[in-house]
Chains A and B, each alone.
Chain A
Amino acid sequence: MTPTEFYAALDEMLELDPGTITGNERLEDVEAWDSLAVISFIALVDEKFDILVETEKLAAAESVGDLYALATRQKAA
């Protein structure tokens, strides 16, 4: 999954207009990023990447970029 596809998946998950997430956002500035979104993200990464997000790393994520790294780099681990 390319970063662009990932951002599109986040848009859909957060019920945002397509193209809203561009990859540079800080999570604290994304209004839709609430506790339910965090849970949705766990489900999304499971579905699309077949990996289980590590909860501590997810809690430490600060940006959309961190989320992408979590969803992709963990695959090797």
Chain B
Amino acid sequence: MADTRPNNASTLAANRLGPGDYTDPAILAAERAHIFRRHWHFVGLDRDLAEPESWFLTKVAGTEIIIQRVAGDGLRAFVNVCPHRYNALVNAPNGRGRLRCGYHLWSFDDNGLAAQVPLRAGVALEACQTAALSLRRWSVERCGALIFVAEQPERPLAAFLGPLGAELATLSRGLGTEVLRFSQDIAANWKVILQNTVEFDHAFGVHPETFAAMVERPLHLVPHDAVAPHIAYHTRMKPRDGLKPIERRIEDIFARSVIPQAEGYTHATLFPSATIGTTANRIFALIRYQPLAPDRTHAEYRLFISQITGLTAVEQAILDRVVPVDVAFTQRLLEEDRQICESVQRGLSNAPADLAGILMPGESLVGRFQQYWLDAMRAGALT
């Protein structure tokens, strides 16, 4: 296959991470301290907190966090532990109302301060309203309709997302129906999974009938610059000649998406724990990844379609038939990626420490990811 990639130097590049970086528990512990605690993590959408005082429980960097909507559209992120004697404050995946511990019934206000403490036997309430006896808070911010949290962020969310922020805000506000939501554990290191999202040389080996059938050859992967430590790019799709009238009609319907039309497959890997991708603005996949072990990662998938303006009844009926096909296609792609990531992890567990690997020209964004990882580990270790 002739390679005419315009954006990559045609040279081999060093693979900066070795097998141990994907298998060593000490590396994961360092990543939790140096990367996961200091970076922002996508956790959910505004629509997940539609009701006042509603909350949902999520897990970030190994810690359970309660995300709650408080008065005036504000958000709070509380660590899921009661400051009295360590009971997990909530157990359900979501709920509504003031947070109250089920063990000795302390309840907490919007700022995490004890609001009611029964069985005080003469002890003043104020004695329990100290910082030490308050719920532990994390930072929580919105980008458009997306909610992010961080334990000790190095900078505000807007600065962290940089030029991607505006794009993500527009995209998130235009999301329509959520068409599929599921989660699973993947038997692979989180970096194996993310690196797999930033190169498509694997399309021909891993997705021969799905992705590879759609993209132009040679594959043009066009990186978006100045989004470090994140990675964003789009690919071009094959020109779709000879469309049947109904296919053209379906494309016309999707062309009225509220989310601005993007070309081909458009992708953002938000360092270190989320990806957002869309194929020709049809299915939007928001995925978050949290490491459970060096060789195990929890993945939560949410698939959406865009809001589409002025849908008639017949167009809705058409979409009702088209969207499940698109969803099934996306699921198949995701499953193909899961399998290859697990296979790579098995390979890593067999790899001698001196097996260095190499990055081909089409894998330059993998190199970029590795550089960001090295930078973040170094910066975290220094502080």
A43 with B320: in contact, given A36-B244, A36-B246 (CB under 8 Å)? no
Residues in B neighbouring A55, C-beta threshold 8 A: 317, 320-321
- Residues from 201 to 258 in B contacting A, C-beta threshold 8 Å: 244-247, 249-250
Q: A40 touches which one: B246, B320, B325 (CB < 8 A)?
A: B246
Interface status of B313 (Cβ within 8 A of chain A): yes
Specify the chain A residue showing the minimal Cβ separation from B322: A39
Which residues of B come within 8 Å of A, CB atoms? 244-247, 249-250, 313-314, 317-318, 320-322, 325
Nearest 7 CB-CB pairings of A with B: A46-B314, A40-B246, A39-B321, A52-B313, A42-B317, A39-B318, A39-B246
Residues in B neighbouring A40, C-beta threshold 8 A: 244-246
Residues in A neighbouring B244, C-beta threshold 8 A: 15, 36, 40
Docked complex Cα distance between A36 and B325 (Å): 10
**What are 5 A-B residue pairs whose CB atoms fall within 8 Å in the complex?**
A15-B244, A39-B250, A39-B322, A52-B313, A55-B321
Docked complex Cα distance between A4 and B317 (Å): 26
User: Chain A 46-62, CB within 8 Å of chain B: the 1/0 string?
Assistant: 10000011010000000
Interface contact A36-B247, CB-CB below 8 Å: yes
Interface status of A8 (Cβ within 8 A of chain B): no
> Given A36-B246, A39-B318, A40-B245, list of 6 further CB < 8 A pairs?
A36-B247, A42-B314, A42-B318, A52-B313, A52-B314, A55-B321
Interface status of A24 (Cβ within 8 A of chain B): no
Q: B314 touches which one: A35, A36, A43 (CB < 8 A)?
A: A43
Docked complex Cα distance between A40 and B322 (Å): 11
A43 with B325: in contact, given A52-B317, A53-B317, A55-B317 (CB under 8 Å)? no
Interface contact A35-B325, CB-CB below 8 Å: yes
Docked complex Cα distance between A43 and B317 (Å): 9
A35 with B318: in contact, given A43-B246, A43-B249, A52-B313 (CB under 8 Å)? no
Which residues of A come within 8 Å of B, CB atoms? 15, 35-36, 38-40, 42-43, 46, 52-53, 55
Specify the chain B residue showing the minimal Cβ separation from A38: B321
Interface contact B321-A35, CB-CB below 8 Å: yes
Residues in B neighbouring A38, C-beta threshold 8 A: 321
Specify the chain A residue showing the minimal Cβ separation from B249: A43
Docked complex Cα distance between A43 and B244 (Å): 13
Docked complex Cα distance between A37 and B91 (Å): 48
Residues in A neighbouring B325, C-beta threshold 8 A: 35
Docked complex Cα distance between A42 and B249 (Å): 12
Residues in B neighbouring A42, C-beta threshold 8 A: 314, 317-318, 321
Tell me, rounded to whole Å, the shortest Cβ–Cβ distance linking B16 to chain A. Answer: 46
Residues in A neighbouring B247, C-beta threshold 8 A: 36
Residues in B neighbouring A46, C-beta threshold 8 A: 314
Docked complex Cα distance between A35 and B250 (Å): 13
Tell me, rounded to whole Å, the shortest Cβ–Cβ distance linking A50 to chain B. Answer: 9
Docked complex Cα distance between A36 and B245 (Å): 10
